[in-house]
């Protein structure tokens, strides 16, 4: 179980911003999201999306615990 947050256009595409989801790794989480919503899954695995776990950018897989917070961030546009 981890808290999952979608930011920017990913929240719009998913239709939700924050959920608690059952997954023990990042890859398992992405597989779960892809099975629920293939379009979202494709976008999450596509270029430009950054994954942040507990405020640290993560590349590749990672284990997830119940207190972990995962954010999926599309390309930024500040200023």
Q: How near is the Cβ of 8 to other proteins at its closest, in Å?
A: 3
Using the 8-state DSSP alphabet, how is residue 15 labeled? T
Closest by alpha carbon to 27, among 2, 69, 62, 66? 62
Angstrom distance (rounded) from CA 66 to CA 26: 13
Residue number, 23 or 71, with CB nearest to other proteins: 71
Residue 43 in contact with other proteins, rule: CB under 8 A: no
Q: x/- site string to other proteins, residues 2 to 41, per CB under 8 A?
A: ---x-xxx-xx-----------------------------
Q: In this structure, what token pair is assigned to residue 43?
A: 């976008």
Residue 55 in contact with other proteins, rule: CB under 8 A: yes
Closest by alpha carbon to 41, among 55, 21, 27? 27
Q: Which residues bind other proteins (CB under 8 A)?
A: 5, 7-9, 11-12, 48, 52, 55, 71, 73-79
């Amino acid at each position: 179980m981890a808290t999952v947050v979608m930011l920017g256009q990913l929240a719009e595409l998913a239709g939700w911003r924050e959920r608690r989801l059952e997954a023990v790794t990042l890859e398992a989480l992405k597989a779960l999201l892809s099975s629920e919503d293939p379009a979202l899954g494709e976008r999450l695995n596509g270029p430009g999306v950054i994954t942040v776990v507990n405020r640290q950018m993560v590349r590749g897989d990672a284990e997830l615990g119940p207190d972990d917070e995962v954010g999926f961030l599309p390309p930024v546009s500040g200023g």
